[in-house]
């Protein structure tokens, strides 16, 4: 059996080496020539899997260690009897932690309170549902929009997109769908930007093209939107002018916690073993964290205290500044730099690894911290 696996998939070698001839390749170098005699391909979102890639190959199993499938031609795979597996939900906690770390950064800098603010969550699947729960723990008013789930009567209290656009904060957690009744391509666009209030905070950790980036740049400069963008149209060739308008800008790494990456690999590994009737044997072992006991730092507001706590675990400011360094690259090297940031991304751990000890006057933090999966103890 010949397997071709993206070299940037966590634990790729450890998970798949024992099944045959394993080739690790850069995801952008996985081409039709490379896969001609492959049986298995395991990719990330940067590899387009379609007829162009698979024509005249003998591939029978394709896995993506990502939650999105817009890079996969699912109809082609079904028509050609090719088994497909994805990793939906693998990095949901990582993305949710990113959203609130970025959000707390912005509001603490402006000494704003999240309590009482209205947040519109577009897409209430694996990630969006976590964002809803976390927002509620802050006492925020939550508006939800998810037409596919609403039609299936999964969940309740949904509102139309126009209602979401009135919120103080809008965060997108949708797949990229190019057409049809649930089209999300340019879901936010020059027409409905007019319905968003000035100085609203817009977050996109879903897919870059869910927002018309050119229209966002034009409207944001007039309406003073506060932007938190982790994803961009035309990655890895991003809009540098739009980056300069952001409060937080990062290189599509919201879901890049070590746990999120490993979960993705394990989910595809298990699907692979099931398809080929192999007994799963690989169990990932994550490195031990030396300092797991933390306290709430000092700060002027609760939001600032929480941001400092989150920042002590996840340095989002470093991710932001490293992407901004793209402006020092020559234009023809900027795309490669964007990819490099993702390929060489440092180890980031999720919040459930940490214990927080609270003093008597800090007990009001307990429900918020527990909603983020911290282990909370009191003095």
Question: Is 295 one of the catalytic residues?
Answer: no
Close Cβ partners of 332 (under 8 Å, ≥ 6 residues apart): none
- Give the separation between CA 103 and CA 202, rounded to whole angstroms: 10
- Give the separation between CA 351 and CA 371, rounded to whole angstroms: 10
Q: Which of 173, 186, 207, 342 is catalytic?
A: 207
Look at residues 95, 28, 24, 10 and name the one whose alpha carbon lies nearest to residue 236: 28
- Give the separation between CA 87 and CA 90, rounded to whole angstroms: 6
Phi then psi for 203, rounded to 5 degrees? -120, 130
188 forms bridges with which residues in the sheet? 211
Q: Which of 97, 233, 235, 259 is catalytic?
A: 235
- Give the separation between CA 111 and CA 189, rounded to whole angstroms: 30
Q: Which of 252, 342, 348, 349 is catalytic?
A: 252
- Give the separation between CA 88 and CA 226, rounded to whole angstroms: 29
Inter-residue contact 320 to 105 (CB < 8 Å): no
Question: Is 207 one of the catalytic residues?
Answer: yes
Inter-residue contact 72 to 44 (CB < 8 Å): no
Close Cβ partners of 43 (under 8 Å, ≥ 6 residues apart): 6, 27, 30, 49, 62, 63, 64, 65, 71
Cα 74 to chain centroid, rounded:
21
CA angle (47, 33, 84) in 5-degree steps: 45
Question: Is 364 one of the catalytic residues?
Answer: no
Token pair 């309740």: residue: 156
What the block records as the tokens of 41 is 């391909």
What the block records as the tokens of 277 is 């009737």
Task: Write out the catalytic residue numbers.
Answer: 207, 235, 252
């Amino acid at each position: 059996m010949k397997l071709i696996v993206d070299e940037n998939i966590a634990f790729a070698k450890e998970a798949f080496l024992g099944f045959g001839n394993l080739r690790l390749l850069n995801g952008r170098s996985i081409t039709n020539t490379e896969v001609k005699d492959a049986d298995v391909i395991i990719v990330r979102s940067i590899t387009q899997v379609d007829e162009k890639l698979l024509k005249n190959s003998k591939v029978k199993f394709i896995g993506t260690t990502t939650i999105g499938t817009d890079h996969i031609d699912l109809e082609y795979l079904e028509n050609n009897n090719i088994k497909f597996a994805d990793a939906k939900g693998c990095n949901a906690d990582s993305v949710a932690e990113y959203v609130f770390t970025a959000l707390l950064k912005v509001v603490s800098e402006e000494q704003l309170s999240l309590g009482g603010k209205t947040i519109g969550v577009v897409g209430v699947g694996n990630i969006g549902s976590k964002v809803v729960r976390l927002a509620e723990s802050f006492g925020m008013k939550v508006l939800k929009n998810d037409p596919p789930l609403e039609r299936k009567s999964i969940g309740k209290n949904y509102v139309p997109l126009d209602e979401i656009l009135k919120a103080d904060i809008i965060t997108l957690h949708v797949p990229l769908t190019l057409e049809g009744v649930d089209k999300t391509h340019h879901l936010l666009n020059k027409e409905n930007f007019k319905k968003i209030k000035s100085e609203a905070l817009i977050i996109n950790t879903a897919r870059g093209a869910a927002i018309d980036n050119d229209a966002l740049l034009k409207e944001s400069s007039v309406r003073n939107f506060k932007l938190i963008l982790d994803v961009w149209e035309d990655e890895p060739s991003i809009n540098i002018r739009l980056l300069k308008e952001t409060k937080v800008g990062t290189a599509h790494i919201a879901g890049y916690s070590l746990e999120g990456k490993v979960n993705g690999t394990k989910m595809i590994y298990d699907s692979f073993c099931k398809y080929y009737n192999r007994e799963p044997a690989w169990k990932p072992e994550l490195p031990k964290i030396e300092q797991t006991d933390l306290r709430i730092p000092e700060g002027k507001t609760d939001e600032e205290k929480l941001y400092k706590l989150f920042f002590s675990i996840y340095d989002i400011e470093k991710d932001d500044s490293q992407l901004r360094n793209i402006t020092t690259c020559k234009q023809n090297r900027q795309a490669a730099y964007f990819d490099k940031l993702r390929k060489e991304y440092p180890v980031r751990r999720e919040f459930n690894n940490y214990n927080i000890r609270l003093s008597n006057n800090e007990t009001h933090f307990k429900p918020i911290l527990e909603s983020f999966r911290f282990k909370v103890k009191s003095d």
